[in-house]
Amino acid sequence: MEKMIQHEKYGQIKYTESFWTGSAGVEINGVVLNKTGKKTFEYQDGETQIPIQAKGNLLTGVKMEIGQDTIVIRESAKWYEYALSAFIFIFILVWGNVVALCELLPLVGGAIGGAISAFFGMMNLFTMRLVSKPYFKILIFLAYFAATVIVCWGIGLAIISAAK
C-alpha cells in the first residue's frame, strides 16, 4: 500500500506499507526518514529530532503522530465495506444449507463453502480498500460475489455428480 498526502505544515508525506510483512516507510518532501523500529521513524526538522509513530494498517486506517500532531493517512474501512464482504459469506452459508435453494442452484455450503466464501469475502475487503470511488467498490464486490458463486456452484456440481 502506498499513500501520498499533502499536509500544510510538513508538506508532501508519502507512506508505504508492505501487505505481507507490515513494515512501513515514510518520506517527507522526498526525504526518506530513518527507521528506528517497525513503524517508528525520526524526522530532522532543522536541528531538532522529531519522533514519528505510525499506527494502524490497511483495514483499521493509518494515523501518524509527528511530535504533537496527529495526521490521518488513510481512513478506516467504512461500514458498507464490511457489510458487503460479510454478505458474500452469509449468502453462501445460507444458500448452501437450504435444500430448496440448492435444488435451484447447487452451491456447496458447510465447511467447504464457508471457507471459500470467507476467503473471497476477505479478498473483497482488502481489494475494496485499495480504491476510493464507491462505484468501483461495488464493481469489485460484484466481481468477488460472482467468483464465489461460480466456484461454490462448480464444487456443488462436482459433489452431486460424484454422489450419483
pLDDT recorded at residue 94:
94
Cell numbers placing 70: 496527529
- Calculate mean pLDDT across residues 40-46: 80
pLDDT recorded at residue 100:
93
Q: What is the pLDDT of residues 86-108, one digit of tens each?
A: 999 999 999 999 999 999 999 99
pLDDT recorded at residue 86:
97
